[in-house]
Structure 1
Amino acid sequence: MRFIKMQGLGNDYIFLNCLEGGPERLPELAAALSDRHFGPGADGLICLFPSKRGDFAMRMFNADGSEGEMCGNGIRCLGKLIRDWGLSDRTRLVIETRAGLRLVELLDGTDRERTVRVDMGVPEVGTPLELEAAGRRWRLTPVSMGNPHGVVFLENMDGLDLEMIGSALEKHPAFPGGINVEFVQVSARDRLRMRVWERGSGETLACGTGACAALAAAVSAGRAEPAAQVELPGGLLEVRWDRQSGHMDLTGPAVTVYEGEYPWKTDE
């Protein structure tokens, strides 16, 4: 089975072309491919499928095999990959996801790396909650970007035990399906610093939907302007919230890492 590994700010995924049928047992395969010791290693698996509603469709699986609704870094990489595979020569593509249709725009770049912008849709910001987790109370703002997020603002993130706190909030009883958790420090009104604990994958170097959720929560709380840079361990993402249309744009790099082959039995 041939695959391509790509990354957006270090948020890495294995990609498969399933336009003419794909491997069986995708959740199991996602966990095997994502294993950083016994597999290629990644934050998850993204598969390209045909679509009746858009130009193409994508399915994404977290490192534990659970299926997610949307991935901002992953869909940018997929847009580049569609062009690389020669499946379309257009620079604007409509990709169907479990969170809905998303417009992907290919901007400048090279064969290895390209800047890609995505219309991430309209964020839904909920009322902040006070939750008990990891031995203390946390004020968390729920945000939906088509997938569930919880944003926690901190004055300083130095010394944050992300694994302990993030995993506790991810699986908090208030969220039966789990959530992605963003810890955000507002550096300036146009710059946020963020670390993320992704549902089903743990800490990742970047999260596109999480960056959008962080800005949506910050703007709604009066902490930030509707256009900002989000600083993640893997680098910077540009996020812009058009307050008139309600839509958010996410812009960042999509980088090809390598191609490879992986043995996978298709029969039981």
Structure 2
Amino acid sequence: MTLAPRVLLGHGTENDFVVLPDPDGTVWPEDRLDPALVRRLCDRKAGLGGDGVLRVVRSVHVPDAPEVLGDDLARCEWFMDHRNADGSHAEMCGNGIRLFLHVLVTEGLLDRSTCVAGVLVGTRGGPRRVGATGDGSYWVDMGPARPFGTGEATLSDQTFSGQAISMGNPHLACLTDVEVDSLDLTAAPGFDAALFPDGVNVEVVNVLQPAAHIRLRVYERGVGETRSCGTGACAAAYAALVDGGATEGTVLVDVPGGRLSVEVTAGTTVLTGPAVLVAAGELCGEWLTG
């Protein structure tokens, strides 16, 4: 185990991550990458800073991979070991998994040409197929949006009704005529804990063009407001389509960090957008042992 392990910094539409290359699971085993260290890595003043941590590791080295992947374990060579900024495990992240594939390509662990048709990657939300586009972006098959009721979020002393949607993780997508940029998302929104016992990502959404173009902001559980959320974009796009009387379609999603495209079909949801590596380096021994 090296004292100065390599780290990468990257983002997908400014949803940013500390990325830890660990193909063989020897540098960041489960007992080393504990919640306290994740919080230190994500600290924007005393650490590297990020909305979360992505460990790039083969599935066979992840203790809970057999449980979450089941019969698909053998088909998923790679596992996106994703932690929220508060140190908790996260099921799925559409921005993170695009960056994850970008790292596999740039690190020489996969050839980009073999990724056009998509490769299966393990996550705690189950296997996800993610691939490369001809223009340098990445797509990910997020699976179907699964509505499971309605609820309310309270923020900025206002109550917003929304649709509860699972994208492998829980969302409350609130369509509103209130300008989303006017809302204060510095504090966690209130929500129905009975409907969301494990917490929830809350999206506030303006529909710019019915069933075709939306703008959103998001408060992610375990993180706070982020510049983008891939699963949130999918949940919001689905909610906008349903609100407009459609069940399928392609929606442009503007987030503070850029633009994503979400295609909703009868059987699945495909998210497309950029992934960018910003920096590469090593963690200093004095910080690790401090």
Q: Using structure 2 for the length normalisation, give the TM-score.
A: 0.83
Q: Which runs of 4+ in 1 moved over 3 A?
A: 130-137, 170-174, 263-267
Structure with the higher fraction of residues in helix conformation: 2
Structure 2 CA distance, aligned partners of 1:152 and 1:223? Answer: 16
Q: CA deviation at 1:28?
A: 2.0
Q: CA deviation at 1:67?
A: 0.9
The yes-or-no answer on 1:102 pairing with 2:106 is no
Structure 1 CA distance, aligned partners of 2:53 and 2:153? Answer: 32
Decide whether the 8 Å contact of 1:171 with 1:179 is kept in 2. no
Equivalent residue of 2:104, what SS? helix
Equivalent residue of 2:133, what SS? strand
The yes-or-no answer on 1:116 pairing with 2:124 is no
Q: CA deviation at 1:214?
A: 0.3
Shift of the 194–117 alpha-carbon distance from structure 1 to 2, 3 Å rule, reads: same
Among the aligned pairs, what percent are the same residue? Answer: 38
* Corresponding residue of 2:216: 194
Of the structure 1 ranges 190-199 and 22-31, higher mean CA displacement relative to structure 2 is found in: 22-31
Decide whether the 8 Å contact of 1:170 with 1:180 is kept in 2. no
Structure 1 CA distance, aligned partners of 2:245 and 2:156? Answer: 26
Decide whether the 8 Å contact of 2:101 with 2:130 is kept in 1. yes
Paired residue type of 1:42: G
Q: CA deviation at 1:200?
A: 0.8
Could you tell me which of 40, 45, 67 is aligned with 1:37? 45
Q: Aligned-pair RMSD on alpha carbons?
A: 2.1
The yes-or-no answer on 1:62 pairing with 2:72 is no
Q: Using structure 1 for the length normalisation, give the TM-score.
A: 0.90
- In structure 2, runs of 5+ residues without a counterpart are 60-72
The yes-or-no answer on 1:236 pairing with 2:274 is no
Could you tell me which of 189, 206, 211 is aligned with 1:185? 206
Paired residue type of 1:101: P
Shift of the 132–211 alpha-carbon distance from structure 1 to 2, 3 Å rule, reads: closer
Q: CA deviation at 1:206?
A: 0.6
Equivalent residue of 1:100, what SS? coil
Shift of the 200–223 alpha-carbon distance from structure 1 to 2, 3 Å rule, reads: farther
Paired residue type of 2:190: L
Paired residue type of 1:227: T
Equivalent residue of 2:97, what SS? helix
Q: CA deviation at 1:163?
A: 2.1
Decide whether the 8 Å contact of 2:98 with 2:275 is kept in 1. yes
Shift of the 43–119 alpha-carbon distance from structure 1 to 2, 3 Å rule, reads: same
- In structure 1, runs of 5+ residues without a counterpart are none
Decide whether the 8 Å contact of 2:153 with 2:189 is kept in 1. no
1:40-189 alignment runs, 5 A limit: 40-51=48-59, 52-53=73-74, 54-89=76-111, 90-91=114-115, 92-109=118-135, 114-130=136-152, 135-155=157-177, 156-164=179-187, 167-169=188-190, 172=193, 174-189=195-210
